[in-house]
């Protein structure tokens, strides 16, 4: 089972929900796909971490074979290859590693070599298997790192994916092939606005989903009214509570100190499974 915890905006509490849900379920995998700012590990505090590089195939031109025909540059939609009068220049940061330039080269002058664009880290904390990606500073493409993280999904276990904020390509990549989506929002105008954008994306993907309202009580009832209008179930409401905030500020998942919340997260999980069954 793959559950993705997402939202339209940053700062709503996706990581809080993902970590506390995983700890409540136990024996689960949690995969942090917010590879530009991974922070699940700051709450779980692992000690031993195994790290490996993520490599992206990048074209390398053999100038001795190149005839400067220009076909590689014409093919590349991202302008990652420039064919000049004397040589071909490759801009690796904007290359999408499609391999097309190598295929269209009549002189077979282009090969590919791996270029490090980030890392993935794996560790175990109690019964939780944690995987998180980390995009190298200056690299623009997050989706290859997310794909590398998602390769660690174990189909026979419960996998909880912490998605990046927003509704752009990294979020779509994270959501793809999920069994259920938990959309985390807050009862503010910004929260409602960005929740509506996320719902538009989710409906296009056709994945069963529900909403978790974090910091309930700080705004109005517009989010609840929107969910009722759109027939989206509200799975859980977490109040704007000083004790919960203090635990978070110290990097402590609040279900570890407030065990009554474990039952609510387990109920959240059961409700998600019920929605999936009804949707199938």
Q: Does one domain contain both 96 and 228?
A: no
Provide the pairing of β-strand 110-125 with 128-135: antiparallel
Is 117 within the bounds of a domain?
Answer: no
| Domain range enclosing 20 | 2-53+124-279
Q: Does one domain contain both 104 and 208?
A: no
Q: Does one domain contain both 271 and 142?
A: yes
Q: Does one domain contain both 13 and 152?
A: yes
Per-residue confidence (pLDDT) for residue 279, from 0 to 100: 81
Per-residue confidence (pLDDT) for residue 9, from 0 to 100: 80
Q: Does one domain contain both 82 and 128?
A: no
* Interacting residues of 39 by C-beta distance below 8 A, sequence separation 6+: 15, 32
Q: Give the integer Cα–Cα distance in Å for 35 and 1.
A: 22
Is 115 within the bounds of a domain?
Answer: no
What would the two tokens of residue 207 be?
């994945």
Query: In Å, what is the CA distance from 276 to each residue of 5, 181, 182?
Result: 15, 10, 12
Q: Which of 191, 280, 181 is nearest to 233 (CA)?
A: 181
Q: Which of 185, 184, 187, 249 is nearest to 218 (CA)?
A: 187
What would the two tokens of residue 56 be?
């992206």
210-235 residues labelled b (16+ CB within 10 A) or e (exposed): bbbbbbbeebeeebbebbeeeebebb
Instruction: Work out how many domains the chain is built from and give that number.
Output: 2
Per-residue confidence (pLDDT) for residue 233, from 0 to 100: 95
Q: Does one domain contain both 97 and 234?
A: no
Query: In Å, what is the CA distance from 133 to each residue of 116, 128, 170?
Result: 13, 16, 12
Q: Does one domain contain both 67 and 41?
A: no
User: In CATH, what number is assigned to the domain containing residue 155?
Assistant: 3.40.50.300
Query: In Å, what is the CA distance from 232 to each residue of 136, 210, 223, 224?
Result: 37, 6, 11, 9
Q: Does one domain contain both 100 and 207?
A: no
Per-residue pLDDT of the chain (280 residues; tens, 9 = 90+): 999 999 988 888 999 999 999 999 988 999 999 999 999 999 999 999 999 999 999 999 999 999 999 999 999 999 999 999 999 999 999 999 999 999 999 999 999 999 999 999 999 998 899 999 999 999 999 999 999 999 999 999 999 999 999 999 999 999 999 999 999 999 999 999 999 999 999 999 999 999 999 999 887 899 999 999 999 999 999 999 999 999 999 999 999 999 999 999 999 999 999 998 888 7
Q: Does one domain contain both 179 and 230?
A: yes
Q: Does one domain contain both 69 and 184?
A: no
Is 101 within the bounds of a domain?
Answer: yes
Is 165 within the bounds of a domain?
Answer: yes
Q: Does one domain contain both 241 and 192?
A: yes
């Amino acid at each position: 089972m793959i559950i993705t915890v997402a939202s339209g905006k940053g700062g709503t509490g996706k990581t809080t929900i993902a970590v506390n849900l995983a700890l409540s379920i136990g024996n689960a995998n949690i995969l942090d796909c917010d590879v530009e700012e991974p922070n699940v590990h700051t709450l779980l505090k692992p000690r031993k971490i195994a790290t490996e590089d993520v490599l992206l195939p990048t074209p390398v031109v053999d100038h001795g074979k190149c005839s400067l025909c220009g076909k590689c540059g014409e093919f590349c939609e991202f302008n990652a290859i420039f064919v000049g009068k004397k040589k071909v220049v490759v801009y690796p940061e904007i290359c999408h590693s499609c391999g097309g330039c190598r295929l269209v080269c009549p002189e077979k002058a282009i090969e590919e070599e791996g270029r490090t664009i980030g890392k993935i880290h794996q560790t175990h904390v109690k019964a939780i298997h944690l995987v998180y990606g980390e995009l190298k500073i200056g690299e623009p493409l997050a989706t290859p790192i997310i794909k590398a993280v998602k390769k660690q999904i174990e189909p026979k276990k419960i996998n909880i994916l912490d998605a990046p904020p927003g509704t752009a390509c990294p979020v779509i990549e994270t959501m793809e092939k999920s069994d259920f989506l938990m959309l985390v929002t807050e009862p503010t105008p910004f929260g409602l606005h960005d929740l509506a954008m996320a719902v538009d994306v989710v409906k296009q993907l056709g994945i069963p989903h529900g909403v978790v309202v974090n910091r309930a009580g700080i705004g109005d009832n517009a989010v609840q009214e929107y969910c009722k209008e759109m027939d989206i179930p509200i799975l859980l409401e977490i109040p704007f509570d000083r004790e919960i905030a203090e635990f978070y500020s110290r990097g402590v998942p609040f279900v570890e100190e407030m065990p009554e919340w474990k039952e609510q997260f387990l109920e959240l999980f059961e409700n998600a499974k019920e929605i999936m069954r009804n949707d199938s």
